[in-house]
Amino acid sequence: MSMIHNALSGAVAAQTALNTTSQNIANAATPGYTRQGVLLTSRQALAGGITAAGNGVQVSSLLRFADGYKSQQMWKAASELGRYDAGQPYLNQLESVMSDDTSNINNALDGFFASLNAASVQPDSASLRSQVLTSADTLVKRIASQQQLFTTQHNALSDQRGAAINQVNGYTADIALLNRQIAAAQAGGLNTSGLLDARDQRIDALASLVGMQVVPQPDGTVNVSLNNGQPLVVGRDAAVMGQSSGQLELRFANTTFGVASQGLGGQLGGVIDYEKQVLEPMQTTVKELAAGIATLFNNQLAAAGGPPLFVLNGAQLELSTTITAGTLAFAATGEGAGGGGNLTKLIALKDSAIVVTQFDSQPTVLGDIYTQLVGTLGVRSQQNLAAQTTAQTVRDQSQANWASTSGVNTDEEAISLMQYQQLYQANMKVIAAAGKLFDSTLAAF
């Protein structure tokens, strides 16, 4: 009977191994699936003395080939990639628009000064004066166009930030629910591999949105927190992320606390970093440029007793509605109507300096401000692009590293399938042989 019992335990173990192998093969193309295996242990003989070979084999447990360190590295890489991915489309858009000839502020500024130079040949020419107003209007519209682009990007970033917050809340709620299911299944002695895979996928998706830390707990649950330690998921409970007046906040256990945007990571951190470090400083620079142009030209025109050419409507530079070609104060005080003394001073304003906070609050020559601004943007874009490429490489490598342990290799599974099939057949032959021996024994009596 022990021979039949041993062979039967071996056949059952082989069948369990075949089921596990078939599960692996069936999920070879399933994203996030972690391969499983069987842990076989021999059963020791309980009686029979030193001649008792043993009591067969048993499947002690199913193994889940997961490496926590590799998973953590993969999630960290997802956060880094998400951070740089978030800002690059906006950088590309700004770089494309601001360097384009049809929207370049420097081109419009050069055109404006070119019209002033042209008018210096005949300061009292009505057509040349009209050309000055036309080029001034073009400059105003170029600045307004770029300010509108900044506003459009602000709105898009706000929408993206809101969408990311909603996704964060969805994933944290799912992780908390899966924590509950895993703890209950583990306590009931059930296989939790499928639930663990589902939770890991939610964590991976969450990692692309925000930088975080994941700490496993003894009951099978995980605690998830932001990089600064603020909790997102604690066991079976999830925090709710929101924003108030543009400030991120977390609500957890009837407590609401602010979330620092610095070092947040992920897409959410990337959006905030781009807004604070690139978009807002550039918006401020163009605003200061517009104010500087208005101040320089209006003051010089006023010095000759003329009306202002530009007006500021908030941050928006506009052409004065009271100015006409005939009222442009090109003549210096005391000159006749055809004089160009003040026009010469207006032309010289291109070399005047204004204070721009983007450039360390140091006076910068008017004609160089936009050039430096576009240059700074180009450098930031290239730096972000290089970091994005590196982050993508690290992410790809971390995924490949994870797959080397947890992914399904169909060649290996095919070998296992043949091995366990042979094991099953061998045990069935033992059972058949044991049956014949038993029948022969009965026939002897």
Whether residue 317 is found in the same domain as residue 361:
yes
121 domain residue, yes or no:
yes
87 domain residue, yes or no:
no
From residue 424, give the alpha-carbon distance in Å to each of 12, 17, 58, 428.
8, 10, 14, 6
Cα separation, 116 vs 133, in Å, equals: 10
Whether residue 293 is found in the same domain as residue 438:
no
What pLDDT is stored for residue 110 in this prediction?
93
Whether residue 287 is found in the same domain as residue 341:
yes
Whether residue 329 is found in the same domain as residue 388:
yes
Which domain covers residue 283, as residue numbers? 104-158+271-395
Whether residue 285 is found in the same domain as residue 376:
yes
209 domain residue, yes or no:
no
Mean of all residue pLDDT scores within the chain:
92
Closest CA to 215 of 202, 201, 231: 231
| Burial track 350-368 (b if 16+ CB lie within 10 A, e otherwise) | bebebebebbeeeebebeb
What pLDDT is stored for residue 418 in this prediction?
96
Whether residue 414 is found in the same domain as residue 388:
no
Inter-residue contact 105 to 111 (CB < 8 Å): no
177 domain residue, yes or no:
no
Comparing 47 with 350, which gets the higher pLDDT?
350
Whether residue 280 is found in the same domain as residue 369:
yes
Q: Examine the pLDDT at 108 and tell me if it is beyond 70.
A: yes
363 domain residue, yes or no:
yes
What pLDDT is stored for residue 366 in this prediction?
86
What pLDDT is stored for residue 51 in this prediction?
61
131 domain residue, yes or no:
yes
Whether residue 123 is found in the same domain as residue 9:
no
Q: Examine the pLDDT at 347 and tell me if it is beyond 70.
A: yes
Radius of gyration for the chain, computed over Cα atoms and rounded to the nearest angstrom: 37
pTM, to two decimals: 0.88
Closest CA to 153 of 20, 30, 276: 276
365 domain residue, yes or no:
yes
Residues contacting residue 161 through CB under 8 Å, at least 6 positions apart: 243, 268, 271, 272
pLDDT digits (tens, 9 = 90+) for 4-29: 888 899 899 999 999 999 999 999 99
Inter-residue contact 227 to 212 (CB < 8 Å): yes
Q: Tell me the β-bridge partners of 223.
A: 215
Q: Tell me the β-bridge partners of 293.
A: none
Whether residue 335 is found in the same domain as residue 434:
no
What pLDDT is stored for residue 44 in this prediction?
83
Tokens representing residue 278 in the block: 């690139």
Q: DSSP letter for 307, please.
A: P
Whether residue 294 is found in the same domain as residue 382:
yes
What pLDDT is stored for residue 173 in this prediction?
97
Domains: count for the chain: 2
Whether residue 383 is found in the same domain as residue 278:
yes
Whether residue 307 is found in the same domain as residue 376:
yes
137 domain residue, yes or no:
yes
pLDDT digits (tens, 9 = 90+) for 149-177: 999 999 999 999 999 999 999 999 999 99
